[in-house]
Every structure is written in C-alpha cells, then in structure tokens.
Amino acid sequence: MTVISHLPGALEEEWDWQLDGACRAADSQLFFHPAGERGQAHDDRDRAAKAVCARCPVRERCLLHALAARERYGVWGGCTEEERRGMLRRRRNRNRNRNRARTLARARTR
C-alpha cells in the first residue's frame, strides 16, 4: 500500500508530470503483474514495461515519486518493486552509516 503521508499535496504542479508519461498510452496491466505471475511471463512483462519507461520523458520524476510514496507494486520509473526496495534499503544503510559516523565524530570532540 502507498504511504499516503509521503505523497505531495494537492497542488497541480506536484502531479502534472504524470500527463507526460509514456505509460499513458499503454495498458496499465503491463506495469502491474497479476497474482501468481512467475517465471518467463513475469520477466517478459517487466521487460516490456521497462521498454516503455526507457523512452519516457518523466522517467526520473516517476521513480522519485515511487520511492517517496513507497509504491509497493508495479514498474515505476523503469524499476520493479524489488529494485526499488533495494534502492530504499541501500539509502537507509547509507543514512544509518552517516548517522553513526556523525555520532562517533561528536563523541570524539567532547
């Protein structure tokens, strides 16, 4: 489920990028796998969705939205659910390491 608290407000400029998405001309089922889809069918659908994203003028904005909103399903900005989870995990780890380094640096200066 999307985390509503991470979504931008109702300002049009926060959402109007979606009007330029290459996916608007595609079947939305291409971007969201049906329940139980596995193997080659899953990989082929993801590959086809990513091909649409590859030519999209708002791909980066779409991915930023998906990461900020924690979109749990579908291909967004050319990335699958698993790829986005990995990005968020790496970001969390980087932030955690940065915070640890700051804490250690503060402790050393006292």
Q: Where is the binding site for [4Fe-4S] cluster, in residues?
A: 23, 53, 56, 62
Amino acid at 4: I
Tell me the binding residues: 23, 53, 56, 62
Residue 79, helix vs strand vs coil: strand
Q: Which helix (H) or strand (E) holds 81?
A: helix 81-109
The CA distance from 76 to 66, in Å, is 6
End-to-end CA distance of the chain: 44
The DSSP 8-state label assigned to residue 74 in this structure reads: S
